[in-house]
Each structure stands twice: as C-alpha cells, then as structure tokens.
Structure 1
Amino acid sequence: MTILCLGNLAAEAQTPLRAWNTHPDGYPVTEAMKSFIQEVDAATKGKYKIELFSNAVLGDQGKAVAMLKAGEIDVAEFNSAPLSEAAPGLKAFNLPFLFHDSAHMFRYLDGEMGTRLAETLKASGYVVLGWYDGGARSFYCANKPVTKRDDLVGQRIRVQQSEVYIEMVKLLGATPVVVPYKEVLDGFQKGTIDCAEGNMASYEATGHYKVAKYMLLDSHMISPEALVVSSKLWDRLSAEERTVFQKAGKKSAVLMRELWEKRSIAARAAVAKDGVQFANVQDFSPYIRKMSPLYTKYMTDPATRAELFAIVGNQ
C-alpha cells in the first residue's frame, strides 16, 4: 500500500473526527470508508483519527446532513438525494433509464461533469472526495413472472418517498405504494404490495428474494453516492492535508466499486440458487418513451437540463 507521508504533521496534536454512514459492517460502503480512514491515519501519522459510526447509529440520512453542516460530524457517505438539492445538475443522475450500467455512469462522474458537480456541492458545504456506486435497481415481483414492461401494468409497486420513483411507476402503468424499506418484506407477506425495486445486493441481504422470486433486470435506476467531508473541516486542512484526504477518497471509491461488483455477483448467484427467475430487457426504447413526461419536467431546470443533454447526447 502506497502511503503519502507528511513529516511536518508528525508533531501535530491528534485531531479526532467522526464519520457516518447508513450501512452495516461488512457492506462495501462501510469497508471502503474503513480503508479511507486507515489511509488518512497512516498518511498523517495519526494526526487525524476518524471514528466510524455505521448503520445510521447517529441518526438517519436527513439528520446526518444537518450534523455535517453543523460540524457535528466531519465525514459521511450520502446517496444522491440530499446532494441533488444542493447541486441540481445531479438530478439528471436520479432519472430512470439513462445509463446502461455503472461504468457508463462513472464515465461522466469521473470526468469534467463530476468535477463541475463537485464544485457546486462544495459551495453548499459538501466536499466530494470520491463517487461511490449506488447500484443498479430493478423490479421484482411476488405474484407472477415479469419478463417485459407490460407485466408491471396494474401491479402495486413499493417505492421510496421520492417524486421521481412515484412518477416513474405511474408512467409504467403501475400503482406506487410508499412503504418504509424495513416494512417491504412484511408488505409482500401480507399481500399489500405485489412488487418492489432495488439493487441486487439489498434484494438478497433483506431476504426479499424469498417471497418475490421474479426479477426484471431493467436497471431502471443507476445512481451515484458520494464520500464527502464537511466544508468546515476542509477549511481547516492545510494544502498537504487536503491532498491526503483527496487521494484516500479516490482510492476508497475505486475499492468500493470493486467490492460492490463482487457483492452483486455473489448475491445474484445466491438468489438464483434459491430459485429466483431473471428476465433481461432486450429493448429499452418503450421504457424511455414512457418516461418522456418525467424527462420533460426536469428539463425546466437549466442545470439539470444541461447535464441531461450532455448525457443523452453521448449515448
């Protein structure tokens, strides 16, 4: 492991920091953050000791955002929802059926577009150190096989409290049902929902596959997450320290993506072994046409429109 050593930091007093994420121990995000913490600790010779609070033990994401801005936590890993409020251009990454896979998405985030979005986020208190993989989300159902878009028509599909997700399901001819994620399994068992949607790793980890064995691999949503530090912390760091944090953040992002891919492959193998039936989407054009009203709505925001045009224009 390559460590950037900063000799002039050795004599500095130790500075304790706090890091937050919503995932359990062993999850790709958590393990990548541990790697980041170790890199920073080694490169600053122990000046920055970061304590990781995983599994949302300090509160949910909404509370964590407020804590980061108040300086009560220093490092966090957020999904794109709160970040897109600060950087409207990021909303383009929350729209369905835009990316073929995660590599397609990172082609933009690892380039000029990602740099531009990071600059906007910085002005709102978030300093992006690395773009993480939020995973590809697909639909899965309990009561019948789903092999094409029309199979979703009339189904009651669990969605998170998100305007985009609710509108997407409506445009597909289904009924959105907003249910807390921890209650999805119970919803399937009680018959209050027919389908849900999520990434492969969560589908396996939550046990949803045990009651909803039909998955339509449409990857309708591929969104980023981000490892960030607060601007309050960033402003206190020296130029050398910022370089340490940036390098450690980029390395953790690469690790997270690798761990996520392995986790997703393993999860798919595990649920397939348990009898889950998968269907691949061959033609996405009918889905994209159905989403036209949703795209049009978000085109009204200049920042979102600019990024959306850049993505669609390079498909």
Structure 2
Amino acid sequence: MKTTSKTWSAVAVSVAMVAMALPAQANSWRGWNIHPPGYPNTVALEAFAEAVTERTEERLKVQVYNNGVLGDQPDAIEQTRSGALDFANFNMGPMGPIVKETNVLSLPFIFSSIEHMHEVMDGEIGQQFADALAEKNLIALSWFDSGARSLYNTERPISTPDDVRGLKIRVMNNDLYVDMIEALGGNATPMAYGEVYQSLTTGVLDGAENNYPSFESSNHYEVAEYYSLTEHLIIPECLCIAKASWEALSPEDQEIVRDEAIKASTMQRELWVEGSRASHQKVVDAGVQINEVEDKAAFQERMDPVYAGFIQANPELESLVEAIRSSN
C-alpha cells in the first residue's frame, strides 16, 4: 500500500489522541520530544528511555513520543509541570515566560563558544538554572546541545554589523531577539518557522538565523546562499523530569534516572557534532557561501543597549549575567 504524507499525519494525530486519552500508570512514563526519528535529541532520548526501563527492571516503562505529537513546546511545558507528562527535552528559548531566569540564556553572545556553554551549564551556574526550573515543577537532570545560531540571507555575506543594515531577518518570537537584530540595523520579523522558506523565496524576508542542522533540514539553504558564522545565540536545552514523577521514585530509581540522563546528554552532544558536520558539508556541496566572522567583538559591542535594557528590566538577574560573562 502506498503511504502518503496525509496517512502519516493521520497516524500522528491518532497516536497523540490515544496517548493523551490513556490514564497515567504509576510505572509508565511518557516523554515529549519535538524532533523526528534519527535526530540527535531523539536518538539520545530513546536510549535514555530504553536504559531506564532495563535498569529499573521495568519498574519504570519509559516511552518517548516524537515529532511533537503530544503538543507544541508551550503545551508540553505545562503538561510536564502538572505531571501529565513525565519528562521532556525543552529548549530554554521559549521557557522564559515561565522561568524568567532562563531569559539570561537568550542574551546574544552570553556564551563565547559551545564549549563555554557546556562548562557553565554543567557547573554551579547551571545548577542555579536547575533550581529555578525546580521551583516551577521541572527537574533538570542534564543539558543538551542545540548548536550555535548564525545569520544567513539571500543578499550578501555578513562580515561586520553594518552588513546587516536594512535586511529583513526572521527571528523567534522573543523581544530579546528583536532587539538584537535592530541593534545591528536590521529589520527583525518574528515569524512562524514553517513560513520562512516561502518568505525567503518571495522576498518577504531577506534572511533568518539558525544552526547548521536546521538551516539544512529546513531546506533554507536552497534559497539563502550566504551563511555567516556570527554564532550570536548558543541556547542550551534540558532533559527535564516532572517534579511529581521524580518525587514518586525511590532513591534507587532516582539515581538510575539521573545517571541515564547524564549519559543521554553526552550521547546527544556527540551526535550533534556529527550531525552539524554532515549538514555543513551538505550546504557547502550545494554552493552556499560560508564566511567566518573575524571581528565578533564588533557585533558584541552593538549588544550593549540590549544588555542594558535587560538589566534595567531585570535587576535581580544582573549577578547571574555577570557570572556567566566572567566565567570564560
């Protein structure tokens, strides 16, 4: 039988409806994941689920629901906070409205590199974010990678901040990202991710910003031939457990779940590096012009008003911002 995209959509909807209709069982854990099969996060989450199920001798039977079939991230955050879902992989970008401390992680150039982000999030500062999440009923056991986001566009390479001037750039729906592009002289356009390809094609947008795997898998490289390594945003993700689900575990099983969450993080980071290299090669082979940005300090200096505005609005977070910036 020929399988169509409509068939797969119907299957996904059916899976979501059944999963949400089933009553939660004491030893049955459901996990949310927005990514498709084969994605680094998905592979790591499924390994986590299998290992926890095996090591607890099925005291916990853990299953991951991929492709966002249990809802979008805001819905999944609320479901996990309430205990309707047991665990999830969340990006910290959309977490800000619920856990304001995580907005710090969306400040441009807050991390100098991906390695710097790992060091911060795996250490004492990362524990401060975990503590803030715990206050909202989310237990962050480990931190995943989501790469570095850079600018790409249809017009020209971006080597200096002035190269952004006048470009219509899609950003995620967050005032910090709007302020970031406007500080560079561009026109920030918050837009749903699924609308970006067509908007680049028609000229509604000149560009957007994202990491290599997303630039490649979205096919944006087909219409935006210039990719410039600004690496302005490095936003971590968590493997988060519902507080109610976590507290229902025995100390022994908590130790197993924590251990496997850390192993999943290590696996995800390694797979992310491999996937990024493959995506980079694919877009290079397709003719995309990739340029290093030699003077990132010039971009960082343009962010001073963004930081000043953020601190003015959130003075209680200034020490956290400074702790990260001075940790490198």
Aligning the two structures, in what range does the TM-score lie when normalised by the shorter sequence? over 0.9
Percent sequence identity over aligned pairs: 34
Structure 2 partner of 1:8: none
Structure 1 partner of 2:326: 313
Equivalent-residue separation in structure 2 for 1:85 and 1:158 (angstroms): 21
Measured after TM superposition, the shift of residue 144 of structure 1 is 2.7
Measured after TM superposition, the shift of residue 304 of structure 1 is 2.3
Structure 1 partner of 2:53: 41
Equivalent-residue separation in structure 1 for 2:232 and 2:163 (angstroms): 15
SS at match of 1:24: coil
SS at match of 2:146: strand
Are the equivalent residues in 1 in contact too, given 2:82–2:137 (CA < 8 A)?
no
Is 2:7 the counterpart of 1:16?
A: no
Are the equivalent residues in 2 in contact too, given 1:14–1:46 (CA < 8 A)?
no
Structure 2 partner of 1:68: 80
Deviates more, 1:179-188 or 1:78-87: 78-87
Structure 2 partner of 1:102: 114
Equivalent-residue separation in structure 2 for 1:188 and 1:294 (angstroms): 27
Structure 1 partner of 2:137: 125
Structure 2 partner of 1:294: 306
| Aligned equivalent of 2:275, options 263, 271, 274 | 263
Question: Partner amino acid for 1:283?
Answer: D
Question: Partner amino acid for 1:57?
Answer: V
Question: Partner amino acid for 2:197?
Answer: L
Equivalent-residue separation in structure 1 for 2:94 and 2:149 (angstroms): 19
Q: Which runs of 5+ in 2 are unaligned?
A: 1-24
Are the equivalent residues in 1 in contact too, given 2:159–2:294 (CA < 8 A)?
no
Question: Partner amino acid for 1:77?
Answer: N
Are the equivalent residues in 2 in contact too, given 1:89–1:306 (CA < 8 A)?
no
Equivalent-residue separation in structure 1 for 2:271 and 2:247 (angstroms): 31
Measured after TM superposition, the shift of residue 217 of structure 1 is 0.4
Are the equivalent residues in 2 in contact too, given 1:216–1:279 (CA < 8 A)?
yes
Structure 1 partner of 2:16: none
Distance 1:63 1:89, change over 3 A: closer
Measured after TM superposition, the shift of residue 14 of structure 1 is 7.3
Measured after TM superposition, the shift of residue 82 of structure 1 is 4.3
Equivalent-residue separation in structure 2 for 1:305 and 1:128 (angstroms): 22
Q: TM-score, normalised by structure 2?
A: 0.89
Distance 1:68 1:14, change over 3 A: closer
SS at match of 1:40: helix
Distance 1:269 1:75, change over 3 A: same
Structure 1 stretches of 4+ moved >6 Å: none
Measured after TM superposition, the shift of residue 42 of structure 1 is 1.2
Q: Which runs of 5+ in 1 are unaligned?
A: 1-12
Are the equivalent residues in 1 in contact too, given 2:226–2:289 (CA < 8 A)?
yes
